[in-house]
Amino acid sequence: MIVQTSQGQTRLINEVINNGLCVRCGACAGFCPYFDYIDGKIIPLAPCCSDTARCFQICPLAEHGEKNESDESGIGDYRKIFAARSTDPEIVSRAQYGGVVSTLMIYALEKGEIKAAVLTSRGNGSSPAGFLAESRGDILSCSGSEYTGSGGLSALNRALKAGKDMLGIVGLPCQMEAVRRMSMVEFSGENLSAPISLKIALFCTWALDHRAFDDFLVKNMDGGKIIKYDIPPPPSEKLVVQTLKRKMEYPLSDIRPFIQQGCLLCEDMTGETADLSVGTLEGSKSWNTLIVRTQRGEDLLAGAVKQGLLEVAEFPDENFNHLMEASENKRNRGRKRRIEKNK
């Protein structure tokens, strides 16, 4: 389906950004001079006049008649599901959990499946930002989860603008949705998502508003460079911030006020349009959950396992049931809130 690009910046600003629904996926930034992503925020810089603006069309939060809610259930379409972990000690030492995402991306890059990977890094300062990784070292520098909106797709837009192709991308479900919408937009005669060769989604329940969360940390932390964030699986109900000096724990009830409002409308926990989806494995600190959804994903995984880069194991039934339940809960909550919002 080709969506006509005829609705632009004004609707994006009025309906998404000023409505407090922006989840800072970065899809609207990095392509034109009218939007910037900086320090966890999408910033409209000037009024655009283009009547062919694509920004509103590809925004995952925009409602423009194109179907928003998934008609999937559970974790969406998938071929296989595993417990998986990296065998590379360097990756494991830096990984949030099992190091699966870094391993797969490095494998895809080194095998020539992709030429570069759009990732999220900690940014120059303390804020996460999109990053175009072109080497193993680049990919390793981006390992670890951020838990705040990161504008990662602005790096995709910059790469597209620079004419890059065969791109891999690691992103949250909202970012996968933006990429899916890009695949439906033809721009100057070209499919916007055509240069994307591989999509790996990260499980996501919600993400925090970076600036609000940062203010909270400034007030409630005695400085120090943050090296890792973690929200251990239920019933921990806490956010753990690891700095060079110490480990700080905050009850989730203190953190929830900073959840991006747009995240509460999201119905996709696992990134259902990706080739592969990766998340935590409940009850384990060294394994990931790995969902294989496409042939491309299956081939990549097979290659990585064959080379001994990844170890896979059968996915325990109990974990599967919990995953389905969590995913279904998020879908139902999001659907309900969206219906309420549109009333």
Partner 1 sequence: MTMISEKTGGIALLQGNESIARGALEAGVTFCAGYPGNPSSEIIETLAKAAKDLPIYVEWSVNEKVAFEAATAASYAGCRALASMKQNGVNVISDFLLNMTMSGTNGGLVLITCDDPAGISSTNEEDARLFARMGGIPLLEPATAQEAIEMTKWAFELSEAIKNVVILRSVSRLSHTRSSVQTGLITLSDAQPFFDTSKPYHTFPVVAKHEARNQKLDQAREIFETSHFNTYEGPEAPELLVISSGCPWNYAAEAVELMELGEKVGLLKIGTTWPLPVRLLEKYLKISDKIMFLEEVEPFLEDNVKSLAAQLGHRVGVKTYYGKMSGAVPSCGELTPGLVMKIFSDIFHLPGNTGTYKDEIDTMIADKLPVREFGFCPGCPHRASFYAIKTALAWDDRNGFVSGDIGCYTMGIWPTGFNQVKSVHAMGSGSGLACGYGKLERFGFDQPVITVCGDSTFFHAGIPGLVNAKFNGADIFLIILDNSATAMTGFQPHPGTGITAMGDVTEPVLIENICRSIGADVEVTDPYELKETAERIYRLMKKTGPRVLILRRKCALVQGREGGFPFNMHVDPNKCIGEDCGCGRYCTRIFRCPGLIWNSITGKSEIDRVICAGCGICVDICPQNAIIREGKVE
Positions in the binding site for partner 1 (CB under 8 A): 5, 8, 31-34, 36, 38-39, 41, 43-50, 52-55, 161, 187-188
Which CB, 5 or 86, lies closer to partner 1? Answer: 5
Which CB, 188 or 342, lies closer to partner 1? Answer: 188
Among candidate residues 141, 176, 165, 147, the one with its CA nearest the CA of residue 26: 176
| Coil vs helix vs strand at 141 | helix
CB of 37 to partner 1, least distance (A): 10
Strand partners, 202: 278
Which CB, 111 or 161, lies closer to partner 1? Answer: 161
Give the integer Cα–Cα distance in Å for 231 and 252.
9
Which CB, 34 or 287, lies closer to partner 1? Answer: 34
Among candidate residues 104, 166, 98, 99, the one with its CA nearest the CA of residue 132: 166
Which CB, 78 or 187, lies closer to partner 1? Answer: 187
Which CB, 55 or 269, lies closer to partner 1? Answer: 55
CB of 130 to partner 1, least distance (A): 16
Number of CB atoms found within 10 A of residue 24's CB: 29
Element of type H or E holding 220: helix 210-220
Burial of 63 per CB tally in 10 Å (0-12, 13-18, 19+): middle
The phi and psi torsions of 59 (rounded to 5 degrees) equal -65, 125
Which CB, 43 or 313, lies closer to partner 1? Answer: 43
Contact status, residue 255 vs residue 239, Cβ threshold 8 Å: yes
Give the integer Cα–Cα distance in Å for 169 and 148.
18
Amino acid at residue number 337: R
CB of 2 to partner 1, least distance (A): 15
CB of 38 to partner 1, least distance (A): 5
CB of 22 to partner 1, least distance (A): 12
CB of 124 to partner 1, least distance (A): 10
CB of 188 to partner 1, least distance (A): 7
Among candidate residues 169, 174, 110, 177, the one with its CA nearest the CA of residue 148: 174
> What token pair was written down for 220?
């409630």
CB of 176 to partner 1, least distance (A): 22
Give the integer Cα–Cα distance in Å for 270 and 25.
15
Sign of CA dihedral 241, 172, 82, 303: negative
Which CB, 92 or 221, lies closer to partner 1? Answer: 221
**Strands, E assignment, the chain:** 35-38, 41-44, 80-86, 116-121, 129-133, 167-171, 186-187, 190-191, 196-202, 226-230, 238-243, 247-251, 276-280, 288-292, 310-314
